[in-house]
Amino acid sequence: MHAPDAQTLRAHEAGGVPVLPLRLLLRFADAAYERRFVQHYVAFYFRYAQVSLVLGMVLILGDYLVDRIAYGALPANTLRLTTALPVLICGLGYSMLPKARRHWQPMMSSFIVTVAFCLFVILLRIDVAGGAGLKSWVGVLNFTFLEFYCFVILGVQFRYALASGLVILAAFGYALWWHAGLSGPQAAYWSYHVLTLFILAAGIGWWREYLLRKEFVARAALDDSRAAAEQRALQLAHYDEVTGLPNRRLFAQLAAPTLERSSRKGSGCAVLHVEIDRLGGVHDIYGRSQVDTVLAGITQRIRQCIRGGDVAAVSPASDDPSVVARLGDNAFSILIADLDSQERASPVAQRLLAAVAQPIVIDAQPLVLSASIGIAMFPGDAQDLMGLMRCAEQAARAADDAGGAQHKFFDEALDARARDRALLEAELRQAIPAGQLCLHYQPKVDVRSGRIVGAEALVRWQHPQRGLIMPGRFITLAEESGLIVPLTSWVLHAACNSLRCWADAGLRSLPLSVNLPASSLADVRLLDQLDELMQHYGLSPSSLMLELTETMLMHDVASVIDVLDRLRARGFGLSLDDFGTGYSSLSYLKRLPVSELKIDRSFVTDVARGGRDGALAAAVITLGSELGLQVVAEGVETTEQSEFLLGRGCVLQQGFLYSKAVPLAEFEQMLETGTPLRG
Task: Please identify, using beta-carbon distances, which residue of 298 and 662 lies nearer to ligand C2E.
Answer: 662
Residue 106: cis peptide before it, omega within 30 degrees of 0: no
Instruction: Please tell me whether residue 637 binds ligand C2E under the rule CB under 6 A.
Output: yes
Query: Contacting ligand C2E (CB under 6 A), which of 276, 491, 534, 632?
Result: 491
Instruction: Please tell me whether residue 15 binds ligand C2E under the rule CB under 6 A.
Output: no
209 binds, among ligand C2E, Mg ion, none (CB under 5 to 8 A by kind): none
Among the listed ranges 4-12, 278-286, 565-573, 648-656, the one in contact with ligand C2E (CB under 6 A) is: 648-656
Question: Exposure pattern of 474-513 as b/e (b: 16+ CB <10 Å)?
Answer: bbeebbebebbeebbbbbbebbbbbbeebbeeebeebbbb
471 binds, among Mg ion, ligand C2E, none (CB under 5 to 8 A by kind): ligand C2E
Query: Contacting ligand C2E (CB under 6 A), which of 56, 91, 404, 655?
Result: 655
The set of residues, in sequence order, having a beta carbon less than 8 Å from that of 201 and lying 6+ positions away, is 144, 147, 148, 150, 151, 152, 165
Give the integer Cα–Cα distance in Å for 410 and 392.
6
Contact 313, 334 (CB under 8 A): yes
DSSP SS3 for 514:
strand
Give the integer Cα–Cα distance in Å for 573 and 513.
9
Contact 294, 282 (CB under 8 A): yes
Task: Please identify, using beta-carbon distances, which residue of 182 and 439 lies nearer to ligand C2E.
Answer: 439
Task: Please identify, using beta-carbon distances, which residue of 353 and 526 lies nearer to Mg ion.
Answer: 526
- Annotate 645-668 with DSSP letters as a single string: HHHTT--EE-STTT---EEHHHHH
Binding to ligand C2E by CB under 6 A, coded x per residue (else -) over 585-624, reads ----------------x-----------------------
Query: Contacting ligand C2E (CB under 6 A), which of 117, 207, 286, 656?
Result: 656
Give how many residues touch ligand C2E by CB under 6 A. 22
Task: Please identify, using beta-carbon distances, which residue of 259 and 645 lies nearer to ligand C2E.
Answer: 645
Q: What's the full length of the chain, in residues?
A: 679
Task: Please identify, using beta-carbon distances, which residue of 550 and 634 lies nearer to ligand C2E.
Answer: 634
Between the alpha carbon of residue 69 and those of residues 66, 73, 74, 75, 419, the distances in Å are: 5, 8, 10, 13, 99
**CB half-sphere exposure, 679, CA atoms < 13 A:** 8
Task: Please identify, using beta-carbon distances, which residue of 131 and 471 lies nearer to ligand C2E.
Answer: 471
Site for Mg ion in 518-557 (CB under 5 A): 547
Helices (H), 402-524: 412-431, 471-481, 484-504
Between the alpha carbon of residue 184 and those of residues 79, 129, 131, 187, 585, the distances in Å are: 29, 22, 21, 5, 110
Burial class for 168, CB neighbours closer than 10 Å (0-12, 13-18, 19+): buried
Taking CB atoms, the residue at the shortest distance from ligand C2E is 655
DSSP SS3 for 115:
helix
Query: Contacting ligand C2E (CB under 6 A), which of 63, 127, 147, 577?
Result: 577
Q: How far is the CB of 656 from ligand C2E (least distance, A)?
A: 4
517 binds, among ligand C2E, Mg ion, none (CB under 5 to 8 A by kind): ligand C2E
Among the listed ranges 24-32, 119-127, 417-425, 468-476, the one in contact with ligand C2E (CB under 6 A) is: 468-476
72 binds, among ligand C2E, Mg ion, none (CB under 5 to 8 A by kind): none
Site for Mg ion in 624-653 (CB under 5 A): 634
Site for ligand C2E in 367-426 (CB under 6 A): none
Instruction: Please tell me whether residue 515 binds ligand C2E under the rule CB under 6 A.
Output: yes
The set of residues, in sequence order, having a beta carbon less than 8 Å from that of 437 and lying 6+ positions away, is 431, 459, 460, 461, 462, 487, 490, 491, 494
Q: How far is the CB of 440 from ligand C2E (least distance, A)?
A: 7
Query: Contacting ligand C2E (CB under 6 A), which of 98, 185, 472, 506?
Result: 472
Instruction: Please tell me whether residue 458 binds ligand C2E under the rule CB under 6 A.
Output: yes
Instruction: Please tell me whether residue 596 binds Mg ion under the rule CB under 5 A.
Output: no
CB atoms within 10 A of CB 628: 7
Site for ligand C2E in 523-562 (CB under 6 A): 547
Task: Please identify, using beta-carbon distances, which residue of 400 and 547 lies nearer to Mg ion.
Answer: 547
Among the listed ranges 18-26, 409-417, 445-453, 655-663, the one in contact with ligand C2E (CB under 6 A) is: 655-663
Give the integer Cα–Cα distance in Å for 248 and 250.
6
Give the integer Cα–Cα distance in Å for 175 and 190.
11
Between the alpha carbon of residue 282 and those of residues 362, 520, 629, the distances in Å are: 10, 21, 31
Give how many residues touch Mg ion by CB under 5 A. 5
User: Contact residues for Mg ion (CB under 5 A)?
Assistant: 515, 547, 577-578, 634
User: Contact residues for ligand C2E (CB under 6 A)?
Assistant: 442, 458-459, 470-472, 475, 491, 515, 517, 547, 577-578, 601, 634-637, 654-656, 661
